[in-house]
Amino acid sequence: MKEPLALSTLPFACLQCGTCCTAPDIASLDKPLGVRCMHLDQQGLCAIYSERPAVCRGYRPDEICRLVAAPTLAERVAKYLRLFDL
């Protein structure tokens, strides 16, 4: 019998929710924890996508995106920070 796939192995499309560009601190951008990245546009897209730093290039959406889902960016960021005890 075939093993069921773990959630993290399933393809997961970016929800353009802005959480991963706001909640974590990003040293290479001098971006503090919980502060919206200056390059995140109003559509939830990266305005410097082709030139974004390596840490952003390496990021892949995963089940965390679903776990922090909420109606507003502020709520999603708060959930993310709680989830990681930040």
CB 67 → ligand SF4: shortest distance, Å?
Answer: 19
Q: What's the CA gap between 54 and 74, in Å, rounded? A: 25
Q: With H, G, I as helix, E, B as strand and everything else as coil, classify residue 83.
A: helix
Q: Rounded distance, CA 21 to CA 57, Å?
A: 12
Q: Considering the rule CB under 6 A, would residue 17 count as an interface residue with ligand SF4?
A: no
Q: Which stretch binds ligand SF4 (CB under 6 A): 5-13, 37-45, 60-68, 70-78?
A: 37-45
Q: DSSP state, 23?
A: S
Contacts of residue 55, Cβ cutoff 8 Å, sequence gap at least 6: 26, 28
Does residue 21 belong to the site contacting ligand SF4 (CB under 6 A)?
yes
36 contacts ligand SF4 (rule: CB under 6 A): no
Which of 17, 23, 40, 65 forms a contact with ligand SF4 (CB under 6 A)? 40
| 77 touches ligand SF4 (CB under 6 A) | no
Residue linked to tokens 């970016």: 14
Which residue among 17, 19, 23, 26 contacts ligand SF4 (CB under 6 A)?
26
